[in-house]
Structure 1
Amino acid sequence: MEAACSLLSKLERRYLLYQLSDGRRANIDDLIDQIAAWELEGDGQGGYDAVDEETRQQVYISLIHNHLPRLADYEIIDYDLRSGDIVLDDGFEDIKPLLEQFRQTEEHPELRKRATL
């Protein structure tokens, strides 16, 4: 449980897993744009329209040097940087219920408000 909470504590990892859980596979380029837009939207800076090359680069670096290897170490995902393909691995099922709780909280502002009180 401690490892699952640690893995899901970072917003970028949760967004990555939300996207993968909807389709079970994705390409890193698509995920970079989606994650950057979510982050900017959450910061009140827009969304897709506000994603610039610098933001994309920052998300890319954090994914390949931190988030993807960490999730792969726990067999949550498997990825190939040459092709850019990222797929869910068997370990995802272990954290899926907790991820869904995070998703519900993040998608519903009234739950987010209660969580901060």
Structure 2
Amino acid sequence: MNQTNASRMEVACSLLSEPERRFLLYELATDRTANIEDLVSQIAAWELDARIAGIDKETRQQVYVSLVHNHLPRLADYDIIEYDLRSGDIVLEEGFDDIKPLLEQFRQTEEEPELRERAPL
């Protein structure tokens, strides 16, 4: 493996090491587009192993802030997603295809059966 491939692998592993980023990408992999409000609810539910209806406003706000100030910008920096905070739209970009195989491997090791049993990415 040359230095460029090794660096790309390190970046991919670093990006996917955070559960919120993986959960975000699992959801986006299905339709390649989503709205941040829907993702916030689903990610919070997975993190707390709870139903979406049971997620309180404070928890949703914490997930939203984490996505907006950390996870979305990082993924956008590597051309994995594009997002528009005004509309709330998030779309997968070409860079996603580079990490898709690794994301699938991560998905197979998730503790939550719901995540492991989803259709392949």
**1:47 aligned partner:** 51
**2:94 aligned partner:** 90
Partner deviation per Cα, 1:83-109 (whole Å, 9 max, x = no partner): 000000010000000000011111559
Structure 1 stretches lacking a partner, 5+ long: 112-117
Indicate the RMSD between aligned Cα atoms, in angstroms: 1.6
Specify which of 1, 6, 20 is matched with residue 12 of structure 1: 20
SS at match of 1:78: strand
| Residues 1-117 of structure 1: pairs in structure 2 closer than 5 A | 1-41=9-49, 46-106=50-110, 107-108=112-113
Q: Which runs of 4+ in 1 moved over 4 A?
A: none
Cα distance in 2, alignment partners of residues 77 and 69 from structure 1: 9
Cα distance in 1, alignment partners of residues 39 and 16 from structure 2: 17
Is the contact made by 1:40 and 1:50 (CA closer than 8 Å) also made in structure 2? Answer: no
Residue 22 of structure 1: how far off its partner (Å) = 0.7
- TM-score normalized by the length of structure 2: 0.83
Structure 2 stretches lacking a partner, 5+ long: 1-8, 117-121
Percentage identity across aligned positions?
Answer: 72
Amino acid at match of 2:33: R
Provide the aligned length of Structure 1 versus Structure 2: 106
Partner deviation per Cα, 1:54-95 (whole Å, 9 max, x = no partner): 000000000000000000000000000000000000100000
Amino acid at match of 2:51: G
Residue 49 of structure 1: how far off its partner (Å) = 3.6
Cα distance in 1, alignment partners of residues 53 and 47 from structure 2: 12
- TM-score normalized by the length of structure 1: 0.86
